[in-house]
Structures are given as structure tokens and as C-alpha cells.
Amino acid sequence: MKIKRHSAAFAVLAAGALVLAGCGSDQNTPQGGGNPALDALQVECGTKPVSGEGSSAQKNAMDVFARDYGLKCAGQKLNYTKSGSGKGVAAFTAGQIDFGGSDSPLSEEKGEVAKAAERCQGNPAWNLPMVFGPVAISYNLPGVTDLTLNADVIAKIYQGQVKKWDDPAIKALNPNAQLPAKDIVPFFRSDESGTTENFQKYLTTATGGTWTGKGKQFQGGAGIGQGRDGSDQVAQSVKATEGSITYVEWSFPKNLGLSIAKIDSGAGPVELTTANVGKAIENAEIKGEGNDLRVNLDSIYGNKAAGVYPIVLNTYEIVCSKGYDAETAKSVKAFLTVAANANPAELEKAGYVPLPESFKDKVLTAVNAIS
């Protein structure tokens, strides 16, 4: 893994709660639900339930983690409330939960780093990147099931500069495709969205700054495209509209059977697969210090290497490095260890990718250092 260290330096709002539990005694069990990595784990299961709150972008991953945690630590459970990253950070710094789920690492400018250290009995909190989910460029173009796009073309579509599917810029990337002279109908998220934030960060980085929109509110060209509230709605709109395109978390087009474009960052078309997203993750730079694993997303979005799928969002579990009582520390470490080794097939089904081995080793080193 190529990890570079630098000095320190998507929220999707929703409401609801997730509670999953196992049953049985407080012992390490050999059952991993068909997951060899989980079967082989030696985990010291704690006696306290684990509580978390925050990002709803990782909610479906938490479903998988909670199931595997219940299998490995019988009788133990995860209580996770999907309330949005901001509320998750606030609940963590207030000491109301054991870990916070966030689409962004703790902010020093907002005072979150200092508040978290105070909550952790004067010890630093760590940002652990546990959940990675690719963002698909999904489209509906009858007769075209193999389509390649790049960041420049995607940006021009959402800026209104590329309006037809047979535009020369798209033809140049797809010389053998039968592209119709049909209007492109772009859909985007009208609500504040971590997916939008990461998509715009990708476009800014990959186009060298040609795309200037940023933040959780979509900022394309004036009057370009149609907004929809939520990932399900943009995906359903593409399914119902010939000639349409959108950006959306991987699980949605997979579940609806929609086409997904390959991305060419300069070294040829790359399909959205677990392996190709894994290459982006394992080559990501870490800009935090020690076990504070803040990911430099520019190192993913700007990766032009062959076989790398670069449009990826990540979420963090924010934990105390020290400051938990002994049993809570044991339970938190057990849960995070199981999460890092969660069932790859179940994660992919839910629209996420498992941590590549070299990256997982770094995460587990940090988890094991929690006390």
C-alpha cells in the first residue's frame, strides 16, 4: 500500500434507528456466517452493547457489521442511529455514544477535534475509514450497454455543454458505439447529499478545477438537469427516462438493473467492480498522523492509473484513542475488528466494497491500539 503521511489537517440527513443483536453467551464463537475471515478471527468480546450514531450513507454497511458482530460475539449487539454526520459527531463529543459515524473527519476549524479530545478524557479521537462505497454513473440508453465517460465529459453534461448522446466528445470515447442523436437528460440530487459532495469533489479534482461546484448542494449549470430528492428517486427517474443519466450509490443501479458507465481517467476504460475500487482505496494517501487515518480523497479522485475506479465516497467511525472504561473499550474494539473483516459478499450486495488487505491492516493496527 502506498501510504504517505502529511501534517494534520456527505452528510446524508435521515432519521431512524438500527438495532441488531445476536444471542447466546459472551464467548468468542467460530461462526462467521460463511465468512472465512470472520471464522479465523480471535476476538475478545466485551460485555457492553456498542452504540453509534451518524452517517446514513453507511447504514446498510452497519446492517452487515451488526449481523457479523452478533455471529462472532453471541449475545452482543450494535445500536446504530442514522441521524446524519453532524448529529453523530455531536452525540460522540457529548459522550452519548461510543463512536460517531461521519462522512468527513473531525474538523479542527469547527472545534470538533478539541471537543472530542475532551470527551475522550484528554486523549485524541481517531478517524477510522471503515466504509467505502463507489458512486456509479448510471444511464438509460436503449441499445447502448457499454459506455465509457470521463470526468471532463461528465462535467460538461452537467454544465450544459454536452447536450446530445452523439456529441463528438462522447463519440471519441466510444468509437464503436451506436450513439443516438437523443437529448441527454441529467438527474441530480435536489436535497443536501454527501453523495453530491463527493461527486463534486471528484469532478473538481479530476477536471483540474474546471468544475467549480462544491458542497452537499448540487451546483451544475443553471437550468441544467432535473433534481430529485434522495438516491432512490434519481435512480428511479433514470429507469423511467430514456436518454437520462445520474450519479448514485452503486447499490441503486445494481438493484434496478440499470447500466453503469465505465470511467476513463486517461489509462483506458475502467469498469465499476469491487477489485477496481479496491485499487483506488489501497493506493489512497493518509494525511492524518499515527492512527488517525484521515484519507486524502484527492489521491483517489486524481488517480489516473490503469484499472482504478476513482469515484468513491468513504465514511469514518470516530473513536477515542483512550478514555473508555475497560469493558466499553473491549466491546468497541471487538465490534470494529469484526467490521473490518465483514462478509465481502454481503457488503458488495449492499453497495460497498471490503477493505483491501493492506488498508485493512492499517485500520486494525489503529483498532488494536484503542485503550
> Which amino acids are annotated as binding site, given as ranges?
55-57, 85, 103, 193-195
**What is the identity of the amino acid at 360?**
K
54-81 CB burial, b ≥16 within 10 A, e <16: bbbbbbbbbbbbbbbbbbbbbbbbbbbb
**What is the identity of the amino acid at 33?**
G
Lookup result for grid cell 453530491:
196
How many other C-beta atoms lie within 10 A of the C-beta of residue 352? 29
> Which amino acids are annotated as binding site for phosphate, given as ranges?
55-57, 85, 103, 193-195
Locate all alpha helices (DSSP H) within 5-131, ordered by sequence: 36-40, 59-72, 85-93, 112-119
Residues 157/210, Cβ–Cβ less than 8 Å = no
- What angle do helix axes 194-206 and 151-158 make, rounded to 10 degrees? 120
Here the cell at position 287 is: 494525511
CA distance 14 to 12: 6
Residues 280/289, Cβ–Cβ less than 8 Å = no
Q: Which residues contact 325 (CB under 8 A, 6 or more apart)?
A: none
Q: Which of 234, 182, 204 is nearest to 297 (CA)?
A: 204
CA distance 157 to 15: 33
201 beta partners: none
20 beta partners: 78
CA distance 184 to 243: 5
CA distance 121 to 320: 9
